[in-house]
């Protein structure tokens, strides 16, 4: 959820995005990345971003995420 929240904020928190349209998956190296579709993919495209970068961390029950949109 922290990653989805960070993505929404990076996109300017637009109304109408479905949380189910953004999913964190792991590459074979273990690196996390977003798979976006539908409402979220439309917002990413509208933002002019060509790449979405995500960093995840957790400790003592607290999760944090940073999202960078690259144009």
What integer best gives the mean pLDDT of the chain?
A: 95
DSSP string across 9-64 = HHTT--TT--GGGEEEEE-TTS-EEEEE-HHHHHHHHHHT-SEEEEEEEEETTEEE
Of the pLDDT bands very low, low, confident and very high (cuts 50, 70, 90), residue 64 is: very high
Q: Of 28, 22, 24, whose CA–CA distance to 8 is shortest?
A: 22
Identify the CA nearest to 69 among candidates 27, 26, 19, 34: 34
Task: Please give the class, per CATH, of domain 2-70.
Answer: alpha beta
12 pLDDT more than 90: yes
* Domain edges within the chain: 2-70
Over the stretch 14-43, which tens digit does the pLDDT of each residue have? Answer: 899 999 999 999 999 999 999 999 999 999
């Amino acid at each position: 959820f922290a990653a989805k929240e960070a993505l929404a904020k990076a996109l300017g928190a637009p109304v109408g995005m479905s949380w189910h349209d953004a999913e964190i998956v792991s590459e074979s190296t273990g690196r996390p990345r977003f798979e976006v579709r539908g409402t979220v993919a439309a917002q990413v495209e509208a933002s002019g971003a060509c790449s979405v970068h995500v960093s995840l961390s957790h400790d003592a029950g607290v999760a944090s995420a940073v999202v960078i949109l690259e144009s």
